[in-house]
Amino acid sequence: MERRALRRFQRNRGAVVGLVIVAGLLAFAAIGPLLAGHDPNTSDFAAARDGLGGPGGPSRAHPLGLDPLFRDLASRLAHGARVSLLVGLVATAVSVSVGAVVGMVSGWAADGRAGFVDSALMRLVDVGLSFPYLLLVMAIGTALGDVTIVTILLVLGLTSWFGTARIVRSKTLQVRSLDFVVASRALGQPSWAVLLRHVLPNVAGPLIVIASASVAQMIIAESVLAYLQVGLPPPTATWGRMLQEGQRYYTVAPRLAVAPGLCIFLGVLGFNLLGEGVRDALDPKET
């Protein structure tokens, strides 16, 4: 199985490209800060300036130039990669796991003796979806006061699973009525094992697609938090924050927005290609 899945993955050009992009970004996050050679949060007022006395453009010392506070852009981009990718991946893991568990339990319990569990969980999802997302995030952010990367991960992860739970629930309802699930129950498999062995692998396709789209959304969401002053406090560099900060200078120094924007774009592209590749590779019916 694993070997054949690997072969299917290798033969999928899009999947391989996605893997290369994601690996590249991860490598950038891992060793980029070492190569950049500047502290991301220290202003270098001695560096060469532009014609108006503002922060200078690309030079030998600063390959991507300086940001408006005279900090090295390349170094901030590399440090930002660490925070942004961590937020994107971990918050997605939290969100997708909670959504998958809630959705499967809810779908499994629906219309049976434990139907009230389904009703309760789905009303909770209704409440979660009807709340303005940003209001919820801001309320939690404000209430917590001291914002660290862990709180960001939890806030993003725990406020974004509602839609996933809905999708997984409906897919679970569909899968659980199939005869192979009935067969597994007839063999005496406990409910949790039926969910794990039969339902989960058959709802994994949509889950992987949701997860790969979610990584990019989380990176953006983190920047929205930062923009609303409830994210990671400055001067911490993240791609989202750099994009927000750079947009003001778009006409004068487009590189300030383009560089983090390109990173986010590559992240979105890479994770989506990788996600679709993994989904297809795990499907035994693909040749």
Stretch that binds other proteins, among 15-23, 73-81, 120-128, 184-192 (CB under 8 A): 184-192
Least gap, CB of 1 to other proteins (angstroms): 7
260 CB burial (10 A radius; 0-12, 13-18, 19+): buried
Among 201, 233, 235, 254, which residue sits at the site for other proteins (rule: CB under 8 A)? 201
Among 41, 170, 202, 217, which residue sits at the site for other proteins (rule: CB under 8 A)? 202
Least gap, CB of 215 to other proteins (angstroms): 24
Does residue 187 belong to the site contacting other proteins (CB under 8 A)? yes
> Would you give the DSSP letter of residue 103?
H
Is the Cβ–Cβ distance between 256 and 249 less than 8 Å? yes
Does residue 285 belong to the site contacting other proteins (CB under 8 A)? yes
Does residue 52 belong to the site contacting other proteins (CB under 8 A)? no
Among 6, 23, 120, 182, which residue sits at the site for other proteins (rule: CB under 8 A)? 182
Rounded CA-CA distance 133/154 in Å is: 14
Residue among 178, 157, 161 at smallest CA distance from 103: 161
Least gap, CB of 129 to other proteins (angstroms): 20
Q: Per CB under 8 A, which of residues 112..131 are in contact with other proteins?
A: 113
From its phi and psi, is residue 94 left (phi > 0), alpha (psi between -120 and 50) or beta? Answer: alpha
Stretch that binds other proteins, among 82-90, 188-196, 206-214, 251-259 (CB under 8 A): 188-196
Is the Cβ–Cβ distance between 44 and 10 less than 8 Å? no
Among 12, 184, 223, 272, which residue sits at the site for other proteins (rule: CB under 8 A)? 184
Q: Select 211 or 216, whichever has its Cβ closest to other proteins.
A: 211
Q: Total binding residues for other proteins by CB under 8 A?
A: 24
Tokens read off for 137:
């995030």
Least gap, CB of 184 to other proteins (angstroms): 6
Rounded CA-CA distance 186/194 in Å is: 11
> Would you give the DSSP letter of residue 55?
B
Burial state string for 18-28 with b = 16 or more CB within 10 A and e = fewer than 16: bbebbeebeeb
Residue 76, classed as helix, strand or coil, is: helix
Site residues, other proteins (CB under 8 A): 1, 113, 178-180, 182-191, 193, 197-198, 201-202, 282-285
